[in-house]
Amino acid sequence: MGRITLEGVQKSFGPVHIIKGADLDIPDGAFVVFVGPSGCGKTTLLRLIAGLEDVSGGRILIDGNNVVDVPPAKRGLSMVFQSYALYPHMSVRGNIAFGLKMAGLPKAEINRKVEAAAATLNLTPYLDRKPRELSGGQRQRVAIGRAIVREPKAFLFDEPLSNLDAALRVQMRLEVTRLQKQLGTTAIYVTHDQVEAMTMADKIVVLNAGRIEQYGSPIELYQRPANLFVAGFIGSPKMNLITGAEADKHNATTIGVRPEHIGIVEAGNEGWSGKVVIAEHLGSDTFLYVDAGALGTLTVRVVGEKRLNAGDAVMLRPEPSRIYRFDANGNSMFA
Amino acid sequence: MATRQTQLLARALMSPAVILLFIWMIVPLALTVYFSTLHYSLLDPGSESFVGLENFEYFLTDPAFLASLQNTLVLVGSVLLLTIGLGIPLAILLDQPVIGRNVIRLMVIAPFFVMPTVSALVWKNLLMHPVSGLFAWIATSLGMTPIDWFTDAPLLAVIFIVAWQWLPFATLILLTALQSLDEEQKEAAEMDGAGALSRFIYLTLPHLARPITVVILIETIFLLTVFAEIFVTTGGGPGLQTTNIAFLVYSQALIQFDVGTASAGGLVAVVIANIVAFFLVRIVGRNLEA
């Protein structure tokens, strides 16, 4: 079991409020991703749950028990750090076994569990190597092995993939997700990469400036962002935000249209006219940055190869049903 | 730096410095070797004559030699134990965030900047003096008999003085090493359920293996030649109780005015230092290999 509930959790460093009251309910077995820009407090929130920082206010419940005064080791959680934090002078076996050794398990049982974890993570050939003799991906696996071997109530991941190259990151992303589903253990995963968040999460927590902006499934966040911040943060490329006369037509202060919801129509049709500033040809998609006069520069995503180049005039048409409306406070207005 | 010209240029430019250093080293060494084969007494000038290895025989069979060799090894070993044994907890304490940390660090480093003669005098006259010393005052105010350090435990007294001087060095090296210990590793160990003691044994000590090696090697070089502290406090006595090899060489040359034997003793000291270095590098040197 690993249900984690936050009730009004606050954290201040001196006069600086990092977490301004977080309420959250993470059901058992869920994969929850904390996502947000740098300095939004996502890592701090994770460290509060881990017990590496003390809360300034509020309660953290694990399976219904308040753990704010419980030391990290007794909370039954395990953590994978950004730097992996492997013990450099111990072998892979020693690293994975360390937590069990500290718990005072008998040697035979430790060996059995370490071998099992190593087999799950394809680390068996490397058990007697030192961390410095491993590649980045292997070190990452050792760090995960160290976390799973203790059979915790929940895994805490602190940007674990940010030190890997792009190809390996995609591969590890899949492995982590698969492993979590296989073990069925609750996981909290911190990242600033919204693609990681969208692909891995059962539920995403979007954080900004110490506040939880929205908590929901990836598609919910994409389709029904609660406010301007979430709308701008989730989705790649970013949503186009338009203010002024065009927004007034929709009775909103700001309207937003995602780049994939803008079509290119023949000249003469109704729409927004503009001029292509830059065209990025990715093969599968073409991203157009279009100067649309009073509307500003709009990003347009066209599926497939579109033979348009800088300087070409285009006529843009947003899908009317996919226009998001925001009020003066930046909150969404759904029809 | 791969072309032939640059290699040649590098050699040409470096040679003045290398040649100067070589002469600086080889002339005194050659003279010492030469003197060690002479009957050369300052009390009897003009009588220098070649005596072969007799000076060595005389020095090595002197009962003072074995006594001073033992004193040297006891001194080096004890000071190493004290400086590292106290340096580790001290470094850990100084690594904690406390108010006025910079001032405290400066104060801890201070003994290293006091010259050996001065610190030996301070210890001799202000701290360890059996009548007017601070330790004597503490002992009498507690109703105990003051210890006359330089009579009853002279070698121990010298060990304390030298250890006090070298403790800051060990502390400083170990402190800088502690500061490079990865914070996330400590937190990972904490999450793994390791208490403070386990974290020290499994994380901090292995991390300190290399700086401890550095401290041992560097301190040994200097501790083999401790002289000023002995000269100022005990003068090698009582008897031979605080005479080490360096002091024995000095007493041969400038108390007994026997330059020949002193030179032989100097060369013996070089050999001993090399033997000690050989074993040290075998024992602890592998920690230095990355």
Q: pLDDT tens, B209-220?
A: 888 988 888 888
pLDDT beyond 90 at B127: no
Residues B229 and B115: their CA atoms lie apart, in Å, by 10
**With contacts defined as CB-CB under 8 Å, which chain B residues touch A152?**
none
Sheet arrangement for strand A154-158? A77-80, A154-158, A186-191, A31-35, A203-208, A211-216
Q: Domain limits at B270?
A: 42-288
CATH number of the domain that B150 lies in? Answer: 1.10.3720.10
Split into its structural domains, chain B has a count of 1
**pLDDT tier at B108, thresholds 50, 70, 90:** confident
**Rounded average pLDDT over A61-69:** 89
Distance from CA of B266 to the nearest CA of A (A): 42
Nearest chain B residue to A147, by CA: B192
Selected residue with higher pLDDT from B2 and B193: B193
Gap from B77 CA to chain A (nearest CA, Å)? 27
Contact B83, B169 (CB under 8 A): yes
Q: Would you call A150 an interface residue with chain B, using a CB distance cutoff of 8 Å?
A: yes
Q: How confident is the model at residue B248 (pLDDT cuts 50, 70, 90)?
A: confident
Interchain pair B188, A52: CB under 8 A: no
Is B33 inside any structural domain? no
- pLDDT at position B2 is 66
pLDDT digits (tens, 9 = 90+) for A167-213: 888 888 898 999 999 889 999 999 988 888 899 999 999 999 888 99
Report the predicted TM-score, pTM, of the whole model to 2 decimal places. 0.77
Residue extents of the structural domains in chain A? 4-232, 237-333
Contact indicator for A57, A211 with CB cutoff of 8 Å: no
* pLDDT given at position A335: 65
Per residue in B141-153, pLDDT (tens digit) is 888 887 888 888 8
In a domain, B158, yes or no: yes
Residue B185: closest CA among A83, A135, A54, A162: A83
Determine the Cα–Cα distance for residues A8 and B177; give it in Å rounded to an integer: 40
Which CATH superfamily is A237-333 part of?
Answer: Nucleic acid-binding proteins (2.40.50.140)
Q: Express as a percent the part of chain A with pLDDT over 90.
A: 28
pLDDT reported for residue A72: 87
pLDDT at B288 over 70: no
Weakest-pLDDT range from A46-50, A275-279, B45-49, B67-71: B45-49
Q: Which of A52, A96, A149 to mutate to test the interface with B (most CBs of B within 10 A)?
A: A52
B81 is written with which tokens?
Answer: 């134990």
Position of tokens 């591969």? A171
pLDDT tens track for A272-330: 888 999 999 888 888 999 998 888 899 999 888 878 888 888 899 998 888 999 998 88
What are the C-alpha distances in Å from A14 to residues A11, A17, A18, A53, A56? 9, 8, 10, 14, 10
CB contact (8 A) between residue A98 and residue B206: no
Does the pLDDT of residue B1 top 60, yes or no?
A: no
Contact between chains at A98 and B190 (C-beta distance less than 8 A): no
Per-residue three-class SS string for chain A: CCCEEEEEEEEEECCEEEEEEEEEEECCCCEEEEECCCCCCHHHHHHHHHCCCCCCEEEEEECCEECCCCCHHHHCEEEECCCCCCCCCCCHHHHHHHHHHHCCCCHHHHHHHHHHHHHHCCCHHHCCCCHHHCCHHHHHHHHHHHHHCCCCCEEEEECCCCCCCHHHHHHHHHHHHHHHHHHCCEEEEEECCHHHHHHHCCEEEEEECCEEEEEECHHHHHHCCCEHHHHHHCCCCCCEEEECHHHHCCCCCEEEECHHHEEEECCCCCCEEEEEEEEEECCCEEEEEEECHHHCEEEEEEECCCCCCCCCEEEEEECHHHCEEECCCCEEECC
Q: Which two tokens stand for residue B210?
A: 């290399």
Residue B282, classified by CB atoms within 10 Å of its CB into exposed (0-12), middle (13-18) or buried (19+), is: exposed
Answer whether residue B290 shows pLDDT above 70. Answer: no
- A4-232 is classed CATH 3.40.50.300: yes
How many contacts (CB atoms, under 8 Å) link A and B? 61
A98 vs B185: CB contact, 8 Å cut-off?
A: no
Task: Measure CA of the first residue to CA of the last residue in chain B; give whole Å.
Answer: 25
Q: Which of A48, A87, A190 to mutate to test the interface with B (most CBs of B within 10 A)?
A: A87
- Does the CB of B202 have a partner CB in chain A at under 8 Å? yes
pLDDT for A190 equals: 93
Q: Which of A72, A82, A86 sits opposite B191 (nearest CB)?
A: A72
The mean pLDDT value for B214-239 works out to 85
CB proximity under 8 Å: B 168-197 to A: 182, 184-185, 187-194
